[in-house]
Every structure is written in structure tokens, then in C-alpha cells.
Amino acid sequence: MKAGVFIVLFSQQSFEQALDTVKAAGLQAVEIGTGAYPGTAHVNAQEIVNDEAAIRRIRDAVDSRGLTISALSCHGNPLHPDAAVAKSHHDDFVATVQLAEKLGVDTVITFSGCPGESENSKYPSWVTCPWPPDFLTVLEWQWNEIAIPYWKEQSAFLRKHNVRVAIEAHPGFLVYNTETALRLREEAGDNIGVNFDPSHLFWQGMDPIECIKALGKSIYHVHAKDTKIDKRNTALNGVLDTKHYGDILNRSFVFRTVGYGHDDEFWKDLVSTLRLVGYEGTISIEHEDGVMSVNEGFTKAANFLNSLILKESAGEMWWA
């Protein structure tokens, strides 16, 4: 198992500078943003997918520092009811899959997407309850008419390029929890797996350890991001919180650097449980902590992870 980081965190640095920062922190892997919501600060998949020299520079820059690429990430909404948005995010996904094949990277990360409530929608519509019954009608239309056909097609496309997709479960999209992740995999293809991010599960009231056990071999990639639940705000308003992420004092939850939402025991258990279900990939730091600076949050997360997971230089197995 390796410790890594999603390097969109270092968007103000050049690609090479970002890699140097990762190397200096003692991490072994990088996750690279290639389009859609993560943006293209370091790599624009659509621009370079057919540029062999540019692809070689990326590979050489990573290899020369003794690092690996854990995944390419183009988190987007290819099911968006706005055709222009859907096409843009789909094109990012297609180019990212093609680029991953050329780089020898086996995993691409994105969201499942969320359609509108009908063919006439302008914005996505996320269904969160079964009543009034209109909501279930919308939900089944979204799955059966939009999501499943789309992802079946992408599953076939992925197979042609020897790449798999890791869907990140996130509220606001059709795949947001364990059963929706497993449903998409069952309905659309077994090369559709999960980018496991416990922070999105905590604030929904889920137990990430139990989710790992249920998801098992479908976990293709892991994000290291924590969540702090504010007990008072949650007691007053629950977890369906639409306040701006910057309004930390009044929110029901806030994303934190690993170890600042849940203690060492939880993260040790997470690493061990991942091993038990056969996961030996990368745990990739995703820093979205509104309390800490980029440098502080990253440094603390890197030190924390390096103390928990197997270090390649150790030459032997030990358990977190």
C-alpha cells in the first residue's frame, strides 16, 4: 500500500515542483487532475492525449522521482441536463481514459453524474426521499433511461483501453452511498468500481469501516480526507446542510485533514480493513480543510499517513 496525494492541491506550482513537494514529503504516488471539476492546472487530457512528447515528459517526470501515478481524475457530471456541460465532462472523461492507457495508468476517477428530473430540465435534480411518489418516478427515470445506458457504454469503452473507472460516491450524484455504488457496478459493468472517500460518508451518518467490508474488491482507489461533525449544529439542523463551506462555525460538518475529524484508532482500523478486503493500492490525500493552510494540512496529513501504512523501504509487512 502506498501513500499519495491528489496534486490539484498544488495548482499554484508547476507540475515538476508539485512532484518535488510530494517526493520531499516522503509520499510515493500522485493522483493527477485532468479536467472537469478538478481542472487542468497540471495536465489537460484533451490537449495532450495525442501529444506523445508531452505524455513522455509526464511519465519521465514522475518516474525520475521514484513516484507512481495512482490515478487520473476528471470528476464531472457527464449526465448533466445541460448538453454543453455533459459533453464537456464526457469529453474530458474520454480523453482521460485514453491518456491513462498511454501512461500505463489503470484507474480513472470521476463521479457517476446526476441528470435532471426530465428531458426538459436545466439543472441536476438529486432525489433524497421517496415521498411524495413523484420523486421515485424521477429516480427510476434517471437510473434506467440515463445513467445505466450511459455507464454500460462507458464500461465497453473502458475495456477497449484496459482502464477501469473508480466512481466517487458523493451527495448530489446518483452514486452517493454503498448500495448505489454497488447498483451501478451490477447494472453497468464490473470494471466500474469505487474511489473510496470516507469524508463523504461520515457526514451522511455512515460507518466507513462497514462500507469497506461491503464494497470489498470494488474499491479501486482511496482518498484520505476527514470530516468533523459539529454536534450542536447537527442536533439543530441535521446533516443536509447547504451553507457555504466557508461558514464553518454554523455548518453541521466540515472537511478536515486526516486525524482532525476522527482519531488514530479509526484511521488504523481503516487501513487494516482495506488490507483485509485485499486493497493494496494508494491512499491519496485530498486536502479540503478550511481551517488549515495548504502547507499545514498537507504536511500533517502526509506525516499522519506515513505513520500508518506500509512503507516500501521497510521490506516487510506490518499492520497499522
129-154 per-position pLDDT tens digit:
999 999 999 999 999 999 999 999 99
Taking residues 304-316, report their average pLDDT. Answer: 63
pLDDT tens figures, 92-124 = 999 999 999 999 999 999 999 999 999 999 999
Cα–Cα nearest to 122, from 88, 89, 80, 91: 80
Residue 141's pLDDT is what? 98
The residues near 31 (Cβ < 8 Å, ≥ 6 apart) are 4, 5, 6, 7, 69, 70, 71, 72, 73, 109, 221, 282, 284
- Strand stretches in the chain, DSSP E: 2-6, 29-33, 68-73, 107-110, 164-168, 192-196, 219-224, 226-229, 253-256, 282-285
Say yes or no to pLDDT of 317 above 60: no
In a domain, 155, yes or no: yes
Domain of 199 in residue numbering reads as 2-314
The pLDDT of residue 79 is above 60: yes
How many structural domains compose the chain?
A: 1
Is residue 320 in some structural domain? no
In a domain, 123, yes or no: yes
pLDDT in tens, 19-57: 999 999 999 999 999 999 999 999 999 999 999 999 999
Is residue 98 included in any domain, yes or no? yes
The verdict on residue 319 lying in a domain is no
- The domain that holds 236 is classified in CATH as 3.20.20.150
pLDDT recorded at residue 139: 98
Residue 248 DSSP one-character state = G
What cell numbers appear for 104 in the block?
500505463
CA distance 190 to 121: 30
Overall pTM surpassing 0.85 (yes/no):
yes
- Banded pLDDT at 310 (limits 50, 70, 90): low
- Looking at the domain assignment, is residue 179 inside a domain? yes
Residue 58 forms part of a structural domain: yes
Average pLDDT, the chain: 95
pLDDT for 309 equals: 79
Note whether residue 210 is domain-resident: yes
For residue 149, cis peptide bond before it (omega within 30 degrees of 0): no
Q: Stretch 257-283: mean pLDDT, rounded?
A: 96
Tens digit of each residue's pLDDT (9 = 90 or more) over 200-238:
999 999 999 999 999 999 999 999 999 999 999 999 999
